[in-house]
Amino acid sequence: MADIKVGDTIPEGTFKYIPWSEALEDNLVCGAPIEISTSEWKGKKVVLFSVPGAFTPTCHTNHLPPYLEKYDQFKAKGVDTIAVLAANDPFVMSGWARFEGLKDKIIALSDNGAQWSKKLGLDKDLTANGLGIRTSRYALILEDNVVKYVGIETERGVTVSGADAVLAHL
């Protein structure tokens, strides 16, 4: 059960990611991970959505692509930052971001071991499926790090955490 709810301030967290650069257009370049803290989102409107895993079927084909397709709509509603979060390492997240063509539009964050998601009550044990501890499938709208919307998927598929649902709540 999720511990986070509308009106809560998110817990502090630090994520690793590889920022997009033109050098990453070369598939042999890996980039260097840097850190971003949730404190950098103070004073901003952030859409953060979480997937159980990069390159996994639902995440790869149904969850992430609509966010990229509707990027301009998110920006038109005043969103400063769009981020996708998963328990994968930053190199996998960067590879997925490059494959999907995110460039600098959506940042792909690594929540190693789902540690931050666990603080929200949104981690998921997929060990029986060979995937270990992962992030649940969810979406948050944050304004100045205060939760304005929480969409947590309780069944397979993408509904309340999808781009259309989030756009409807902005």
Positions annotated as catalytic residues are: 59
In 3D space, the residue among 148, 170, 149, 142 whose CA is nearest the CA of residue 72 turns out to be 170
Residue 104 per-residue DSSP state:
T
Q: Is 41 left (phi over 0), alpha (psi -120 to 50) or beta?
A: alpha
Place of tokens 């630090």: 14
Answer yes or no: are the C-beta atoms of 121 and 147 closer than 8 Å: no
